[in-house]
């Protein structure tokens, strides 16, 4: 269920399913979506400074009636804020907008050439100060980790990357498993593009489930944590009903075979 977690190497753990809030720009809609998700049982909300909705997320959390310490909040430092001092400031601004006094997880949003190591130093300081319970990264290829490891004292707990049946990221997943770094999929539904896939529709029909649920269940059975986004109450609920059915090995393999190494978002090597 929604309280089930994936363990980090630092002794902490993260809920396997959370609510993503990218492109939620309407304030009232964001507050409602966050509140509805939490009342449905979601523990994790994934925001970022660049989404410009941290204030609404904070308000949704407060209006949910669930205590802050029973929830799990992630945010991310944006590219233009990377570097040591600027990351410290960006984090402080994020906390102020959320009206919170700590984050459960803070991520480097994208690897910015030449800044990875200084940004990570700031993350390590915030972690040591207890202001962030766990620190991680997003959109890192293996070579970005290798660069980070040349100066890091702490290892990232998680890498949040684009990952769905058209981009299964098998080599990166193997590397992260070896390093004991949790994988979290962004755009797990391919931003909705995968929902019309015929193979997925056929599989979904056999389980009497939606295509979205089959895709998200595929992630979970592959030990990939997920943060699907929706503002629609019924879809928020649907995206969390994943723990009462299981895909067969054959169907898992059929979905694996849909991989095309095809992104809906940018390649981290050509983006900053
Ligand atoms: P997603 O794959 O979660 O797809 C979201 C879209 O799918 C929604 O807009 C909705 O139209 C549709 N949808 C959702 N549930 C559905 C359902 N049950 N039935 C039918 N349609 C449904 O895409 P996303 O929002 O890009 O990714 C999820 C989250 O990942 C984001 O909200 C954000 O938090 C995070 N993210 C992070 C990065 C990064 O660089 N770290 C980049 C993109 C997204």
pLDDT tens string 85-137 = 999 999 999 999 999 999 999 999 999 999 999 999 999 999 999 999 999 99
**Residue 61 in domain:** yes
109: annotated binding-site residue? yes
Retrieve residue 260's tokens: 């095309």
0.95 cut: is pTM over it?
A: yes
Q: Closest Cα partner for 138 from 169, 119, 111?
A: 111
What does the chain come to in residues? 272
Domain that holds residue 60: 5-195+226-244
Residue 236 sits at the vertex; the CA angle it makes with 21 and 247, to the nearest 5 degrees, is: 110
Please say whether the dihedral angle defined by the alpha carbons of residues 162, 168, 170 and 173, taken in this order, is positive or negative: positive
**Residue 131 in domain:** yes
Active site residue 127: no
Retrieve residue 42's tokens: 């979601």
Nearest-atom number in ligand 1 for the CA of 160 is: 41
Mean pLDDT of 43-62: 98
Which position among 51, 72, 106, 127 bears the catalytic label? 51
Q: Take atom 14 of ligand 1 and give the residue whose Cα is closest.
A: 230
Asked whether 266 lines ligand 1 (CB < 6 A), one says: no
Compute CA 210 distance to the chain's CA centroid, rounded to the nearest angstrom: 22
Q: How far is CA 152 from CA 44, 95, 108, 124, 156, in A?
A: 27, 24, 14, 8, 9
Predicted confidence (pLDDT) per residue in 151-204, tens digit:
999 999 999 999 999 999 999 999 999 999 999 999 999 998 999 999 999 999
Predicted confidence (pLDDT) per residue in 75-86, tens digit:
999 999 999 999
Q: Take atom 36 of ligand 1 and give the residue whose Cα is closest.
A: 186
Asked whether 239 lines ligand 1 (CB < 6 A), one says: yes
**Residue 220 in domain:** no
Asked whether 74 lines ligand 1 (CB < 6 A), one says: no
**Residue 180 in domain:** yes
- For residue 240, the CA-to-ligand 1 centroid distance in Å is 14
Question: What is the DSSP code (8-state) at residue 69?
Answer: G
What is the C-alpha separation between 226 and 16, in angstroms, rounded? 6
Q: Do 40 and 29 touch, CB atoms closer than 8 A?
A: no
Q: What is the pLDDT of residue 1?
A: 86
Read off the pLDDT band of 272 (50, 70, 90): low
Strand partners, 134: 105
What is the C-alpha separation between 226 and 222, in angstroms, rounded? 11
Pick from 14, 15, 22, 140 the residue to mutate for probing ligand 1's pocket: most ligand atoms within 8 Å of its CB. Answer: 22
Task: Sort 194 into a burial class: Cβ within 10 Å, 0-12 / 13-18 / 19+.
Answer: buried
Q: How far is CA 3 from CA 7, 16, 44, 71, in A?
A: 12, 8, 10, 10
Question: What is the DSSP code (8-state) at residue 182?
Answer: E
**Residue 161 in domain:** yes
pLDDT over 70 (residue 7): yes
Pick from 17, 139, 164, 230 the residue to mutate for probing ligand 1's pocket: most ligand atoms within 8 Å of its CB. Answer: 230
> Residue 94 maps to which CATH number?
3.20.20.100
Specify the number of domains making up the chain.
Answer: 1
**Residue 190 in domain:** yes
Asked whether 165 lines ligand 1 (CB < 6 A), one says: no
Question: What is the DSSP code (8-state) at residue 47?
Answer: -
Pairing verdict, β 182-186 and 158-162 = parallel
What is the C-alpha separation between 210 and 239, in angstroms, rounded? 9
Give the whole-number percent of the chain exceeding pLDDT 90.
98
What is the C-alpha separation between 20 and 217, in angstroms, rounded? 17
Cβ of 181: how many Cβ atoms within 10 Å? 22
Pairing verdict, β 103-108 and 72-77 = parallel
Mean pLDDT of 241-251: 98
Q: Take atom 18 of ligand 1 and give the residue whose Cα is closest.
A: 235
Nearest-atom number in ligand 1 for the CA of 109 is: 41
**Residue 123 in domain:** yes
- For residue 156, the CA-to-ligand 1 centroid distance in Å is 23
ipTM: 0.98
Asked whether 227 lines ligand 1 (CB < 6 A), one says: yes
Retrieve residue 76's tokens: 């991310």
**Residue 43 in domain:** yes
Average pLDDT, the chain: 97
């Amino acid at each position: 269920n929604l309280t089930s977690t994936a363990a980090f190497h630092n002794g902490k753990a993260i809920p396997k399913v959370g609510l993503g809030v990218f492109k939620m720009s309407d304030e009232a809609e964001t507050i409602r979506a966050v509140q509805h998700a939490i009342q449905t049982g979601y523990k994790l909300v994934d925001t970022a400074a660049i989404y410009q909705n941290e204030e609404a997320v904070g308000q949704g959390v407060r209006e949910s009636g669930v205590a802050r310490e029973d929830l799990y909040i992630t945010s991310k430092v944006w590219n233009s804020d990377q570097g040591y001092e600027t990351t410290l400031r960006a984090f402080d601004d994020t906390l102020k907008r959320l009206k919170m006094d700590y984050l459960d997880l803070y991520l480097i949003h994208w690897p910015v050439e030449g800044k990875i190591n200084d940004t990570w130093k700031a993350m390590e300081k915030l972690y040591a100060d207890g202001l962030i319970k766990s620190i991680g990264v997003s959109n890192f290829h293996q070579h970005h980790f290798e660069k980070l490891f040349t100066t890091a004292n702490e290892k990232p707990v998680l890498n949040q990357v684009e990952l769905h049946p058209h981009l299964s990221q098998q080599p990166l997943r193997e590397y992260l498993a070896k390093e004991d770094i949790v994988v979290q999929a962004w755009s797990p539904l391919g931003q909705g593009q995968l929902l019309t896939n015929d193979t997925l529709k056929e599989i979904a029909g056999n389980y009497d489930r939606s295509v979205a649920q089959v895709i998200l269940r595929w992630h979970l059975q592959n030990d990939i944590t997920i943060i699907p986004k929706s503002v629609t109450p019924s879809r928020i609920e649907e995206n969390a009903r994943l723990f009462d059915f299981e895909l067969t090995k054959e169907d898992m393999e059929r979905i694996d075979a849909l991989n095309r190494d095809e992104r809906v978002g940018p390649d981290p090597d050509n983006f900053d």
